[in-house]
Structure 1
Amino acid sequence: MNSLVQRRILPWRSPSSSARSFSSTPLLCLIQPVSSLPDRVSPSYIQRPSNNLLSLQWPSPPRNILITKKKRTPGITSSLIEYVTHLSSTYPSINIILEPTSAAEIHAHLPFPVYTYDEPARTSVPAHLSDKTDLVCTLGGDGTILRASSLFSHAATVPPILSFAMGTIGFLGEWKFKEYKRAFREVYMSGASDAYANLSFPSPSLTSTPPTSPSDPLDKPLSYADIRGMSMGSNRTARILLRNRLKVGVFGPDGIRINTTSHPGDTYALNEVIVHRGSSPHLKIIDVFVGGRFLTEAVADGMIISSPTGSTAYSLSSGGSIVHPLVPSLLLTPICPRSLSFRPLVLPAETPITLRLGAKNRGREVEVSIDGKRISEGIGVGMEVRVLGEEVKSETGEWRGGVPSIVRGVEGLEEREEDHWVGGLNALLKFNYPFGDQDGER
């Protein structure tokens, strides 16, 4: 455990303990290890009969909430404090998990303990986090969502992600932060009321954090009566867009896997994997294999293999197609190719793609990055990147894998299908907008 967390972890007794303290000393703010939390609660995803989105259904209420935020942004830090204070006062059984830097930054402002983990190595993920996290909340832009997803890059399943758009680019972000009370309650209550029928909720302690706005009904601490009276029912569940990931294996010239140090198997990527020339001034010669067959010898600055979600990122800037996130596919896009005839390709998700650094390269090394995180550098001739689309539905019809993104509904029109991807094209990419005021020129 890193020294920062170790210095702050001290024994903590629940306010409900029978031992009573008469000390006037303020409550000690603590940072606890994530390994001490109860095991993860995994929800089910049910196919909605009227559209392509899924319904979120909890077997029991989520307890362990991981919150990530955009770094070095004071305004978002204050919003994080407001958010976790609301969750602690309104949902007494919830545990807050923060990234190590965020936990060190704000724990002194909170009258309750928070949980965190040790910073992992560059090619690894935090220990215990995937086994303990029920729900992920992000405060920031698309980069914050990618960073949250990368914390589960070696896990077969990712917890649902509730994202608040507070960054520069919000193509993946769904909710405005001012809606956080309604958004979280909608997720927390999602599913049939039977999931909550036999539960007992702890009574708020006298030492608990007071509600942020006592007059707001969404700040009232929950009890079973509240659950029973406010249950959304089986027809008003939170909506899930399941985003397919890539399964990526990076192998050195000797055939040894180099994309992970502590977890066997592939790395999962939400956006893309990139093979690029890095600081080398020379074009790279990359042999491309599709479905096990040689396709071409690409001469370019690099190659991008992206998921449909990543189609609006680096791939789009390199001339790649825009693909709807519900289309199971892989995108193969060259970066500044020498040949004008090399066009971007869209392939079935189950088609394996291999990129191999050819023997003809003048610059003998390349760099590989997965979702913006550099995996390695200085890999020589014979290095291979092998990519396959992730399967998100089992043979029995059960939805699994992917990144379950909680989609923002239209208040009062929850059952109406709304394609947020189309809205993102119009609002963020200004898709097919005309130049200038054409009406004024007539």
Structure 2
Amino acid sequence: MLRPSPAPSRAPSYAVVLRTPHAARAFGSALLGRLSYGMAPLALMLAVKDATGSYSAAGVIMALFGATSVCLSPVRAASVDRYGPRRALPPMAGAYAVLLAALAYTTWRQGASSPLLGTLAVAAGACTPPLGPVMRTLWSRLVPDRELLRRAYSLDGVAEELLFVTGPLLVGVVIRYTVPAAGVAIGAALVLGGTLALVSSPALRDTGTVPSSAPPSASPQAGTGTRKTSRGRLLLGAVGLRHAALVAASVGLCLGALDLLVVAFTEEHHRGGAVAWVLAALSAGSAVGGLAYGAVPWRASNRVRLPVPAAGLGAAMAVAGLSPDVYVLVAVVAVAGVFVAPALTTAYLVADESVDPAARTQAGAWVNTAVNAGSSGGTAVVGLLVDRVPPAVCFAMVAVPALMCAAVVARGAAGRARR
């Protein structure tokens, strides 16, 4: 049973998190597998484009791959909660790796059939192992102290951010010496090796299924509306999880929109080559914000803190649209990044403590799904607007949902506090 610990005079260090018995090995194994998620999508898109000679085919196939992976994430996480990671993850990872290997083989040379590639991509997306949600659930088992758990989640979030920066760079190195399909094959090997290393870790020795009668988290943040989630009960009956997913979706929307907005802004200022610097500033800001957030011994509860970084991100997005030049945009986007990792870390913490222990992997998967769905939605909406509306207006329009979500969640937290 997890309880919020009082704020200590000196927050425990990240080294304490990694010195937790078996934590470093499990964390390293999960990161190895998750590196595949940073490499495989870009490598697959390039491989499909080369094999079919069509950007349209590559776009459609990648959309199918991403949609299947995102939409079925809670279902895969539910099977992990039901059967335990040691039984559920190896079949998923094995099937995912085999299908990625089949995609790599099929796209190694030109002339591949688009319907065949689409079928393989859909099947691969359906089998994507939920290594991120599993690792966060494992952190909650390894680190029972809430203060230390927040630091563990911050470390996990920052590491994942760096993986999604490192993955495309590795793909760039691969295609310099060989074909993009080789990057897909490497992604298959990474996810299989990382998953097998994770499930063989001593940290998972006692992580079977959690009985449905296990008591839900007793932390004060697990508010009214939390339901036991076994046997098909709706997980989103938990108010805290709904709020966490709402904040995560608003963060994803901002991130998905930002990619296109940065391109439009830099081209408007005749500095198209600065796109990489702006996005690098976002990642750097997120890493700094995540590490700093985990280091501070906050006194307010996770529920109370949840809307704050979302509001900060929304405000920074609105200000970014007013930037007079690219240099100011880089600085403002770095500030916006400072709020990204804290927002997602807090969302995962709230989701974790808002549900029955038997459903923590599913709860994390719902937050992850909300981020990805928000990102896709943000990209789609801005794609329709950016040619018709000035970038400054687009930035402001993207900021509004984040600010509104923050207001809704803050109002809910205030109402619960009054009750």
TM-score higher than 0.5 = no
With normalisation by structure 1, the TM-score equals 0.24
Larger radius of gyration: 1
More helix by share: 2
With normalisation by structure 2, the TM-score equals 0.25
Structure with bigger RCO (C-alpha 8 Å, 6+ apart): 2
